[in-house]
Amino acid sequence: MDENIFVCISVGIILVMKTNSTMLGGLTTEAFLRDYWQKKPLLIRQAFSQFNGLLDQSQLFTLACTEDVQSRLVTQRHGQWQVQNGPFKATKFDNLGKSQWTVLVQGVNQHLPEGAALLKNFSFIPHARLDDLMVSYAPKGGGVGAHFDSYDVFLLQGSGHRRWQISAQQDHTLVEDAPLRILQRFQMEQEWVLAPGDMLYLPPHYAHNGIAESDCMTYSIGFRTPTYQELAEQFLVYLQDQVCLDGMYVDPDLKVQRHPSEISTDMLHQVAQSIRRIKWSKRDIANFIGSYLSDPKPHIFFDPPMKPLSRARFEQAIQTCGIAMALKTQMLCHNGVVFINGIAHTVSKYAYRELRSLADARQLDSTEGLSREAFELLYLWYTDGYIVPIVKQAISK
């Protein structure tokens, strides 16, 4: 058999996709967004029926020991909280005892295909808002204390049971000198025990406390809510590469000053006039947002293919089986511009529609009829390690 023939594998929804109404307890996505999103909590029993998690305890610990994975170990001893950041040595988890500790692993969707598949169920929220999938393990009694988050989160129960206590309290005073944002005065208003497949949605700043009823794993689907301060600071950084002001400071009419240490009014006026020449448009804002929100976190790196396919073999592979975004890739679109991992590409209307389909679904099952413009970008991204053909391997003779 020809060694250039490729065998397809499935990179589709490994986890069975739920209809939104089933996942949201009978609510339509429109009703959920109108009545609950960023407004009030929602408990959904059996949002994912027969769900018992995507990985076991040992697999999670292996991730926590991996170099490019963000992980934390939270322990409580004699009323004192401690936080240690990974990566850890495998022996770290051998003598932790049977209670009052928790392992948390961020970005599981960037390392586990099933995690990325799980997140596809939440595509009714724009990709620009998605942060990541965090998975935590705790033995009976374990937790991270009563706290609040500044972002929206869906708490999906995997194996075991966890008791969630929540409160709409406005008192967000924190315990002083604690390594975690622990609430000083938590006043529980409601509580439930979540079983495998149950899910709790919490809007930002809603106080909550999760306590493991038994050895359990919880899957947290978080959505980023950058502060305006953060966006403003990063936009100014972005402008550094966009601003071009001609000329330089001059003072041909300079006068002798009584106090040479004082900055003159003329200097301030001239500099102020120059800085006022800095302008930006809505397109500049859009390009900044697309680049910033798709930019990988500092610990994320991409591995280009060791032996990249030629253009011809790449085209054959993706026409036969399609193409998928690498698990770590972030891709956003706006008005003719495609943003992938912080890089902006302005494309034609036709190529934009093609690439937007890839961004929406994170894969294209077929590239039959793909424009040359889109193909060239796909090949560039493939050589950068941003996307991968949906192939298993070449079959040798």
pLDDT per residue over 324-369, tens digit each? 999 999 999 999 999 999 999 999 999 999 999 999 999 999 888 8
Structural domains in the chain (count): 2
Could you give the CA distance from residue 327 to residue 108 in angstroms, rounded to a whole number?
10
pLDDT, tens digit, 9 for 90 and up, residues 243-261: 889 999 999 999 999 999 9
204 to 46, 148, 152, 268: CA distances (angstroms)? 23, 7, 5, 43
How would you classify the pairing of strands 207-212 and 71-77? unpaired
Q: What is the pLDDT of residues 258-302, one digit of tens each?
A: 999 999 999 999 999 999 999 999 999 999 999 999 999 999 999
Q: Does the pLDDT of residue 13 top 50, yes or no?
A: no
Report CA-CA distances (Å) from 335 to 111, 329, 342, 347, 356: 31, 20, 16, 10, 10
What does the pLDDT read at residue 395?
41
112 shares a domain with 93: yes
Q: Is residue 372 part of a domain?
A: no
Instruction: Say how far apart CA 105 and CA 60 lie, in whole Å.
Output: 7
User: Is the domain of 241 the same as that of 195?
Assistant: no
E strand or H helix that includes residue 39 = none
Residue 346 lies in a domain: no
Domain that holds residue 264: 230-279
Residue 318's Cβ-count burial label (10 Å; 0-12, 13-18, 19+) is buried
**Is 362 a member of any domain?**
no
CATH number, domain at 112?
2.60.120.650
For residue range 113-133, list pLDDT tens digits in order. 999 999 999 999 999 999 999
Residues 105 and 247 in one domain: no
Q: Would you state the pLDDT for residue 17? A: 57
Cα dist from 77 to 73, 97, 326, whole Å: 13, 11, 40
Do 251 and 142 lie in one domain? The reply is no
- Is 258 found in the same domain as 146? no
